[in-house]
Amino acid sequence: MKGILNTVDAIHAVDSTAIIVHVEAAGLSRSVREDLEALAVEEQRRGYLGFDLLTGKVTPRHPLFPWLVRHGASPDDLAALAARRLSLDIMGLNFYPQWSIQQFYIDPKGKVAQRAFEASGEHFAEMIRDYYNRYQIPILITETSAVGPDEVRLQWLNASIAAIKQLRSEGIPVYGYTWFPLFTMIDWRYRLGNEPVEHYRLDLGLYTLANPGSGARWSSTPLVETFCHYVAHTEDAIGPLLAPSHS
């Protein structure tokens, strides 16, 4: 957090009009049982923590202040961060339907555990509303995609774009959308693994590796045509940004 604050100060010293996009992994925490709801709430609060620290929300009254101090944060450092609070320009949210929603449950051994569960466009919209209602700051979707065959990824592309259109119609300022990655990538697990690199291939992108012998490196998936259609017809795809209904 200190590094982010110092970086913003340095950028603004060069260009006071610079617009800073602050990016965090975002998601939702839920539980399958009412008696586990408190765990999901605490986990959700930890998801907010980066933005809370930057915006000066972490004071001794913050529900995670004791947790931070117990885990080594200095109360004086936390007070200094709160005093330097930023007025954020734009929040960048990274959301992956197969990883970004965590659910608390009781495993077969009777222990509390967490698992990812598949999300729909509805969950995506719920997450964006949640962050906007908390911070009242314009939003960019800085990373999203889905793992699986073309059909699964195309379904997520359509569902996530539809969710943004709905949010903008409610007056929630979603300013941009990035499908990441553009191409087939190598999973981060490769850094610590010892399997052949092909074992870590991850097809999330709009383009995939072409078949050997085809003479090309990349092959288009059906997502390319759909994505280009959305770009060419932005008004139809996401609609205008309307004023909130309560204003």
Prediction pTM value: 0.91
| Domain assignments of the chain as residue spans, ordered by start | 17-55+87-238
The DSSP line for the chain is: -HHHHHHHHHHHHH-TTPPPEEEEE--EEEESSGGGHHHHHHHHHHHHHHHHHHTT--STTSTTHHHHHHTT--HHHHHHHHHT----SEEEEE--TTTSEEEEEE-TTS-EEEEE----HHHHHHHHHHHHHHH---EEEEEE---SSHHHHHHHHHHHHHHHHHHHHTT--EEEEEES-SS-EE-GGGGT--S-GGGGEE--SSEEEPPTTSS-SEEE-HHHHHHHHHHHTHHHHH---PPPTT-
Render pLDDT for 109-140 as a digit per residue (tens, 0 to 9).
999 999 988 767 778 999 999 999 999 999 99
Render pLDDT for 130-185 as a digit per residue (tens, 0 to 9).
999 999 999 999 999 998 899 999 999 999 999 999 999 999 999 999 999 999 99
Percent of the chain surpassing pLDDT 70: 98
**The domain 17-55+87-238: what is its CATH number?**
3.20.20.80
Q: What is the pLDDT of residue 247?
A: 45
